[in-house]
């Protein structure tokens, strides 16, 4: 049985009768979007898809609505199984519906657990209640999710460069039709010219990303409005189900959307923290060359949505015609196209000197990408690969060959960061000059500045810090007192010619990130 659009409206009215539900239905509320209705009642919510065919989605038949209800349950069950409970058939008639009743279904709903709208991260952000703990939970969830989901095969078009380019081009066409002011049109022209050029420049990278398996069955709509804190944990929900073109995407496109959302709300430092945390968890630094392309793409999508909304509101006299939200997204898109000259920072210092502790805040202050030798060493050789102190003085992952491999990998990753327009902070000891020279040559080849961040502290302080670190057991570094004593025996210091681009940071005297930043800014 098919239900016409007017009958669906009758159904929604009937579902506002609390006696319809086989459970308590207090606090009944109906939320309407442009593609669905959500009925909130008691501890549950029921989502019903509208009879629509918008081209990019097709809910025009009952079979299609049932299929997409099942897809919504499947896809969102990956990240939010506690929210997405079942697909419920609606039987009876639109005037007298029965949820899960016997007989032929004339409609379907996705049954969900209800939660307070105040739990949304978008609401917490407005109240300045978004914390580092929330961001850490998002980092872990998104990284684990992206590792677990399947990759697109060569048999599909998903992730093909032409398939990536098409929606970006269409967004410009659709947005241009809705812009009226010369300022907005000029902004759009600049962004489109950059997008066309960037697409050509990054075409080989887009090809490689699919070949390497980074085009995956993602969430597709990962922003703060689709995240909530439930039972003290961030839950990511409401992924796209209605069009696989919109969720079979490069994981970097997904990362870009959340970064854009944070940037739009003035939380650039938080966006940097999320991006760095995600990259450290996944090791996907080679995805950075296409991140700006996806940041611009996501910003133009949001600008288009804002323009459509403003046009609709202007027709009813409730929204100024100058479209401030659209303009803000256009200017944000343009800002992503403008790259500052990056700088290569390499840390230098003995174990326990504070390299990781003091370089971490620089990520947010400088908008840089930090790559940690400890993390990449574990990624290459496995955590806990060495056995006792024997490996600390030249065996296992600390052998000469393993050390060479580690620094070579760090240099490759640093280059990916720098050519993407981001400053790079390489967090390693860099006690051997040959490796500092390797990175100096990299900076010279790419035409970027290099700074050695020399962290120092007295040897007794270093020993105590390592003891404290080992007792806490919360740091990824495997360097113990045996490593430190070996370093103290063989360390020869920086060469005289290196002092010209070295910033010395006494971590016994400097405690705040602003003090470290001031020293760095003075040197640039």
In the prediction, which pLDDT does 386 show? 43
In 95-119, which positions are buried (b, 16+ CB within 10 angstroms) versus exposed (e)? Answer: eebebeeeeebbbbbbbbebbeeee
Q: At what angle do helices 268-282 and 355-366 cross, to 10 degrees?
A: 130
411-415-419 Cα angle (round to 5): 175
In the prediction, which pLDDT does 521 show? 77
- CATH for 343-523 is 3.40.50.300
CA 15/CA 20 separation, integer angstroms? 7
Domain residue ranges in the chain:
5-114, 121-337, 343-523
300 sits in the region (left: phi over 0; alpha: psi -120 to 50; else beta) called alpha
| CA end-to-end distance (rounded Å), the chain | 71
In the prediction, which pLDDT does 389 show? 42
> β-strand 107-113 against 44-49: which pairing, if any?
antiparallel
In the prediction, which pLDDT does 43 show? 97
Cα Rg of the chain, angstroms: 27
Q: Which two tokens stand for residue 242?
A: 């209605």
Sequence-distant (6+) residues with CB within 8 A of 388 are none
CA 139/CA 143 separation, integer angstroms? 6
CA 491/CA 500 separation, integer angstroms? 20
Q: Which two tokens stand for residue 334?
A: 């343009």
In the prediction, which pLDDT does 388 show? 40
| Fold assignment, 5-114 | Phosphorylase Kinase; domain 1 (3.30.200)
CA 210/CA 208 separation, integer angstroms? 5
How far apart, in Å, are the Cα atoms of 489 and each of 169, 187, 486, 492? 60, 59, 5, 9
Nearest to 288 by CA among 370, 195, 220, 366: 370
| pLDDT, tens digit (0-9, with 9 covering 90-100), for 340-393 | 899 999 999 999 998 998 999 999 999 999 999 999 999 999 875 444 443 445
CB 346 within 8 Å of CB 453: yes
CB 444 within 8 Å of CB 513: no
In the prediction, which pLDDT does 150 show? 98
Order of all β-strands in the sheet with 97-99: 29-32, 36-41, 44-49, 107-113, 84-92, 97-99
In the prediction, which pLDDT does 172 show? 96
Q: Which residues of the chain have pLDDT under 50?
A: 1, 385-392
In the prediction, which pLDDT does 318 show? 58
CB 392 within 8 Å of CB 483: yes
CB 360 within 8 Å of CB 453: no
CA 2/CA 106 separation, integer angstroms? 6
Sequence-distant (6+) residues with CB within 8 A of 213 are 151
Nearest to 482 by CA among 466, 493, 458: 466
pTM: 0.92
- CATH for 121-337 is 3.90.1200.10
């Amino acid at each position: 049985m098919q239900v016409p659009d007017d009958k669906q409206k009758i159904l929604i009215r009937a579902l506002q009768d609390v006696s319809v539900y086989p459970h308590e239905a207090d606090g009944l509320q109906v939320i309407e979007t442009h593609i669905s209705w959500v009925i909130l009642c008691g501890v549950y919510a029921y989502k019903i898809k509208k009879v629509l065919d918008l081209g990019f989605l097709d809910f025009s038949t009952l079979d299609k609505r049932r299929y997409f209800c099942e897809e919504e349950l499947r896809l969102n069950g990956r990240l939010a199984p506690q929210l997405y409970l079942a697909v419920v058939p609606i039987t009876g008639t639109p005037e007298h519906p029965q949820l899960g009743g016997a007989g032929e279904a004339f409609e379907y709903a996705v049954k969900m657990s209800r939660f307070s709208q105040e739990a949304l991260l978008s609401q917490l952000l407005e109240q300045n209640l978004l914390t580092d703990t929330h961001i850490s939970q998002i980092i872990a969830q998104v990284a684990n999710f992206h590792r677990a989901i399947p990759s697109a095969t060569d048999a599909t078009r998903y992730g093909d460069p032409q398939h990536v380019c098409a929606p970006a081009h269409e967004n410009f066409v659709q947005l241009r039709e809705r812009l009226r002011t010369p300022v907005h049109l000029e902004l759009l022209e600049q962004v489109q010219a950059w997008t066309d050029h960037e697409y050509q420049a990054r075409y080989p990278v887009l090809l490689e990303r699919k070949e390497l398996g980074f085009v995956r069955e993602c969430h597709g709509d990962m922003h703060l409005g689709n995240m909530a804190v439930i039972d003290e944990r961030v839950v990511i929900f409401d992924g796209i189900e209605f069009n696989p073109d919109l969720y079979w995407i490069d994981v970097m496109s997904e990362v870009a959307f959340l970064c854009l959302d944070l940037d739009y709300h003035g939380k650039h430092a938080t966006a940097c923290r999320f991006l760095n945390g995600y990259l450290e968890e996944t090791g996907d630094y080679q995805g950075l060359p296409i991140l700006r392309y996806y940041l611009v793409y996501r910003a133009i999508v949001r600008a288009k949505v804002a323009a459509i909304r403003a046009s609709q509101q202007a027709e009813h006299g409730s929204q100024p015609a100058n479209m401030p939200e659209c303009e803000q997204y256009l200017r944000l898109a343009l800002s992503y196209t403008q790259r500052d000259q990056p700088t290569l920072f390499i840390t230098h210092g003995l174990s326990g000197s504070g390299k990781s502790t003091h370089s971490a805040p620089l990520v947010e202050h400088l908008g840089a990408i930090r790559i940690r030798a400890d993390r990449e060493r574990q990624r290459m050789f496995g955590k806990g690969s060495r056995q006792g102190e024997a490996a600390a003085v030249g065996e296992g992952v600390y052998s000469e060959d393993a050390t060479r491999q580690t620094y070579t990998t760090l240099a490759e990753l640093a280059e990916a960061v720098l050519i993407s327009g981001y400053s790079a902070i390489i967090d390693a000891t860099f006690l051997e000059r040959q490796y500092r020279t390797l990175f100096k040559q990299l900076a010279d080849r790419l035409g970027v500045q290099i700074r050695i961040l020399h962290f120092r502290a007295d040897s007794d302080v270093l020993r105590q810090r390592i003891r404290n670190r080992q007792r806490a057991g919360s740091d990824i570094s495997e360097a113990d007192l045996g490593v430190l004593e070996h370093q103290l025996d063989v360390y020869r210091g920086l060469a005289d010619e290196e002092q010209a681009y070295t910033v010395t940071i006494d971590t016994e005297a400097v405690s705040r990130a602003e003090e470290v930043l001031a020293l760095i800014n003075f040197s640039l």
